[in-house]
Amino acid sequence: MIQAQRSADIKATPEAVWGELSRFMDLADIAPLVASVDALSEASTGLGAKRRCHFDNGTSLVEEAITWEDGRMMEVRMSEMDAMPLHEGVAKIMVEPSGINHCRVIWGLNYRVKYGPLGWILGRTLMKMMMGKVIDGNLKGLADKVAAG
């Protein structure tokens, strides 16, 4: 698996940041490339919550919360990524206190690319840079949303 990871210090309490992250079906509110989200489970948050994310470019994927430590961390498994060059992917998002009314959000993505050795090379270079930019955009969107209240 290849890993892309970014972090951001956000001027807000961990509770406020988790409050936004835990709105699992509202990812489009913080992720700039997500156009809309369809709920695929009765649970709208927490372990087992499942959503389909539709992207601006017309593609989509399914995400399911496979680990959920309320207020602290979630892991989300991606599937149904036929239009994407990925075999599998798991995102891990952690929130850690880092001072009075500040926290650090660490957003990581472990993924495996299609197309054998060529895919592995692309995954370690071009795709890793692209994934980093996507994560950076999500972190900025999260910080902006929390700041807006």
pLDDT one-digit tens code per residue, 21-77: 999 999 999 999 999 999 999 999 999 999 999 999 999 999 999 999 999 999 999
82-to-27, 114, 120 alpha-carbon distances in Å: 21, 10, 17
Q: Decide: helix, strand or coil at residue 128.
A: helix
Place of tokens 């309320």: 70
Place of tokens 């990581």: 108
At 83, the pLDDT band (50, 70, 90 cuts) reads confident
